[in-house]
Structure 1
Amino acid sequence: MDTIGLSILKGIISFFLHPLTYITIIGAFLLGRSRVKRDRRDFHTRVHDVLDDVVFAVVPCLIIGAAFFILNLFLGLTVPFSTTITMSIAALLLLITGQIRFLSPAFVMILPVFAALFYTPRDLGNSTLNRMQEGIGSVSFEALALLVGLLVFIEGYLIATNAGKQTSPRLVESKRGKIVGSHEMQRLWLLPLFLFLPVGNVESLSWWPLLDFGNESYAFLLLPFPIGFRKLIHHALPLPEMKTNGRQVALLGAGTVILGMISYFLDNEWVALAAIGLVMVGRAGILLLHRGKNKPAYFNERNEGLVILGILPGSPADQMSLQVGEVISKVNGLSLGKGVDFYTALQRNAAFCKLEVLDINGEIRFEQKALYNNTHHELGLLFVKENRFEDQEEAQ
């Protein structure tokens, strides 16, 4: 047990020595900074803090990484060190090119699979580089199928539970040249991925690990595995759309795990390769399914009422029970539309605000709040406005 504990400790240390750990965190910070710049361009104010993207990159994956650690500690999914290198290279290429929408485990695994099938190790004139190529063609495709299935399932869980939080409101131009609202989801998650390496001084036992991939001794590695997601939604509310998208990805991952288990028990790598191919094609299909380009805009200007595009955190509106996608039809008794401006109606009572709200189910309710001298002119709501390029405050 002392040997196992020491090997696990070395694996954990490797996570903090891996450059991809810090590149992913820096990437999340840069995503946050670009989002804040867009917020100021569209609304002349910041919606969410720049460091929120870093928090979302790390915090949700800590519990998930710990759960995967415990699961794989018993399963024993084993890949050569050379395969972890190709996984890191694929993730790094997608990161530095900014294509985080394709930073899915289903696409990251394309390079390791092709390397295992077609790459022949060669003398690179350096002993370290030569050692990095060892075992690249001996990887178990059954293990890869199970691994990519579990990772895609985790990706789906993250999309369903995390991608819809603190989405970024945006103003975009429609095909007809009108300004419409949309919500952008950009996430970069850093998953601590616990894996077995088929080398080391940890001996296998008769009952451990549960899955036998032909190895008798192991070492452990905690690999930083970035998972990216980006989507621009203009045709629907962001939260239910993300839940649907996430469930579909999670089901795809679960199906791949089932096929991977079948390939393991049948000892048939062709079934495993078919499972890997299906998850790649299926993930691309889900991307295409949720494009929503030809669907009508949900966040647009209306003849009567204003659709809430965003709510500033900590604002008076945030302290009320308002939600993105609801329609404000009246302010202080004045119906919006037909020349009645939100700001004008708000000024009707500088000390108090009463809103008539049409919720997402089409039901009317009332919200009210006392205002103070420093907040009577800004409630903290973001709307779609055609004159966004004029020099005026967009957050009312």
Structure 2
Amino acid sequence: MLYWGQLFFSKKGVDDMRIFLACGSYLLQLMVWVAVLRLWVTSRSRIKRERRSFGSAVYSDHYELRHFLTQGIVLGLGLSVVNVLVGFSLPLLWIAIYEILAVITLVILPTTVLPLTLIVVSSLATYFGGPYIKNLPSLAPTGLSWANGWSSQIPPQNYLWLAAFFFLILGHWLSRYGGRFTAPRIYAKQRGKRIAGYPWREFLVLPMVTLVPGDWISSHWAFWPLLTVHGHSFAILVVPLLVGLRFTVFRQVPRDVYQRLAKKMIWLAAAGLIFFGWSIHRGQDLPLLLVVLLVGYAIILWRAKRYDAQQQFWYSQVDDGVRVLAIRPQTPAVKLDLAAGDIILECNHQAIDSETSFYEALLRNPTYCHLKVRNMAGELKVTETAIYSGAPHEIGIVLFRDQEG
């Protein structure tokens, strides 16, 4: 880190308009718009799939884009404040490699976001590209050099700082939003019955303020704001940082799964900060420490998937009743104290065994719903609520649809 926040601004300071233009340049970066397009396509595909599977979408709004805009900006501002206070910097070469790889990933692997892998690969390429690997392609046409990634102005432990904050942000995000939007997806049959899973396919792009050494940016855009730090010039740049996770829950309560994962992400963040301190004294260990974090992250996700696969429960169809898969927001079902995985045994005192029989039972009293339910723990309960007069299909309970034929 650059002297841990001991920033000394030039006498002229930084013009407010220049800073505004530098921040606005974030919106001109290709990665940002590719991410927006990819997330819009993902959200639109989810809504269309839910309409095919359940008659209407569980969440009809593009909540993925809403989180992208709100959470991405809020978390990005928080990270940017910390980075400015400590004088966090990255070489322009790292930024170029990272954004190119991120764009390729978002286009070619749209459902498999690998944000930590992008950070580690970009860091290793920048770290080794200068002094260790020979005969690399020339970057002369771009005005950059492989040596840009190996500079006394950029402490190598900055890459570990970035990885640590990636885990911290991911853990916070999972803790707050993981499992809150349980939109089910129907998968292949299990022992002759359809099953549902709960995929997480969201990601964020955080606007992260960082300092970039050298004069490459200012030589191309004279208006760009610069800081003078101990005699060295740094450009202020807002870099898009990708944060995301790909995970599907089949046999547990999604909220519980993501709460456990969130805690483990926080532990990885703590490990990253410890590694950061270690690398200050032993910078040569940086590549190994980055790989250890990546492997640890992969092991945590693998163990979480394996634990889910070992559970006996399935979100599957049942013979005695109908399985609740989700509750649509802002519908009467919200007041019914139901949860995904519950089995509705009776509706209005009539035994049911399919979606059709459920709605037929609702029609017996089209303004009220009385349910007998067995939850995931096997406990029985009774719940009831008023429903929209003459519109029992709008109660908001998402079930397996009856198969035709």
TM bucket, shorter chain = 0.7 to 0.9
Q: Which residue is 1:148 aligned to?
A: 163
- Counterpart CA distance in 1 for 2:195 and 2:164 is 38
Q: 1:185 aligns with which of 186, 200, 203?
A: 200
- Counterpart CA distance in 1 for 2:50 and 2:355 is 27
Distance 1:290 1:56, change over 3 A: same
- Counterpart CA distance in 2 for 1:325 and 1:339 is 15
Distance 1:321 1:275, change over 3 A: same
Q: Shift of the alpha carbon at 1:107?
A: 4.0
- Counterpart CA distance in 1 for 2:333 and 2:354 is 24
Q: Which residue is 2:299 aligned to?
A: 285
Matches within 5 A, 1:333-344: 333-337=349-353, 341-344=357-360
Is 1:32 the counterpart of 2:37? The answer is: no
- Counterpart CA distance in 2 for 1:174 and 1:146 is 45
Q: Which residue is 2:234 aligned to?
A: 218
Q: Shift of the alpha carbon at 1:358?
A: 3.7
Does the 8 A contact of 1:197 with 1:220 survive in 2?
Answer: yes
- Counterpart CA distance in 1 for 2:61 and 2:365 is 35
Q: 2:80 aligns with which of 69, 78, 86?
A: 69
Amino acid in the other structure paired with 2:99: S
Q: Which residue is 1:208 aligned to?
A: none
Distance 1:183 1:122, change over 3 A: closer
- Counterpart CA distance in 2 for 1:370 and 1:262 is 61
Deviates more, 1:178-187 or 1:136-145: 136-145
Q: Shift of the alpha carbon at 1:236?
A: 0.9
Is 1:3 the counterpart of 2:17? The answer is: no
Matches within 5 A, 1:15-26: 15-26=26-37
- Counterpart CA distance in 2 for 1:102 and 1:21 is 14
Q: Shift of the alpha carbon at 1:101?
A: 3.4
Give CA-to-partner distance per residue, 1:220-251, whole Å, 9 cap, x none.
Answer: 11111222322221111111111112221232
Is 1:135 the counterpart of 2:148? The answer is: yes
Q: Shift of the alpha carbon at 1:19?
A: 1.4
Does the 8 A contact of 1:81 with 1:132 survive in 2?
Answer: no
Does the 8 A contact of 2:322 with 2:344 survive in 1?
Answer: yes
Is 1:241 the counterpart of 2:257? The answer is: yes
- Counterpart CA distance in 2 for 1:100 and 1:5 is 41
Secondary structure of 1:68's partner?
Answer: helix
Q: 1:329 aligns with which of 339, 342, 345?
A: 345
Q: Shift of the alpha carbon at 1:314?
A: 2.9
Distance 1:140 1:99, change over 3 A: farther
Deviates more, 1:61-70 or 1:112-121: 112-121
Secondary structure of 1:101's partner?
Answer: coil
Give CA-to-partner distance per residue, 1:98-117, whole Å, 9 cap, x none.
Answer: 25434222443213312421
Question: TM-score normalised to the size of structure 1?
Answer: 0.85
What are structure 2's unaligned runs of at least 5 residues? Answer: 1-8, 216-225
Matches within 5 A, 1:1-396: 3-4=13-14, 6=16, 8-118=19-129, 122-124=137-139, 126=141, 129-131=142-144, 133=146, 135-138=148-151, 139-199=154-214, 201-204=226-229, 216-264=232-280, 266=281, 268-291=282-305, 292-293=308-309, 295-337=311-353, 341-360=357-376, 363-384=379-400, 387-388=402-403, 390=404
Give CA-to-partner distance per residue, 1:329-362, whole Å, 9 cap, x none.
Answer: 3321234449993223222222211123344555
Instruction: Provide the identity percentage.
Output: 21
Q: Shift of the alpha carbon at 1:366?
A: 3.2
Give CA-to-partner distance per residue, 1:367-394, whole Å, 9 cap, x none.
Answer: 3222334422442211235x44x28xxx
Secondary structure of 2:256's partner?
Answer: helix
Q: Shift of the alpha carbon at 1:55?
A: 0.7
Amino acid in the other structure paired with 1:59: T
Give CA-to-partner distance per residue, 1:150-197, whole Å, 9 cap, x none.
Answer: 112212222232232223211111453431121111102111112121
Does the 8 A contact of 1:91 with 1:108 survive in 2?
Answer: no
Secondary structure of 2:334's partner?
Answer: helix
Deviates more, 1:91-100 or 1:74-83: 91-100
Alignment RMSD (CA, Å): 2.7
Amino acid in the other structure paired with 2:325: L
Distance 1:105 1:113, change over 3 A: same
Question: TM-score normalised to the size of structure 2?
Answer: 0.83
Distance 1:216 1:361, change over 3 A: farther
Secondary structure of 2:384's partner?
Answer: strand
What are structure 1's unaligned runs of at least 5 residues? Answer: 206-214, 392-396
Q: Shift of the alpha carbon at 1:322?
A: 2.7
Q: Shift of the alpha carbon at 1:294?
A: 5.2
- Counterpart CA distance in 2 for 1:377 and 1:131 is 62
Does the 8 A contact of 1:351 with 1:373 survive in 2?
Answer: yes
Distance 1:22 1:339, change over 3 A: closer
Does the 8 A contact of 2:373 with 2:380 survive in 1?
Answer: yes
- Counterpart CA distance in 2 for 1:246 and 1:359 is 26
Amino acid in the other structure paired with 2:342: E
- Counterpart CA distance in 2 for 1:146 and 1:289 is 25
Give CA-to-partner distance per residue, 1:264-302, whole Å, 9 cap, x none.
Answer: 2x2x11333232111111111122222234544431123
Does the 8 A contact of 2:168 with 2:269 survive in 1?
Answer: yes
Secondary structure of 2:395's partner?
Answer: coil
- Counterpart CA distance in 2 for 1:197 and 1:360 is 53
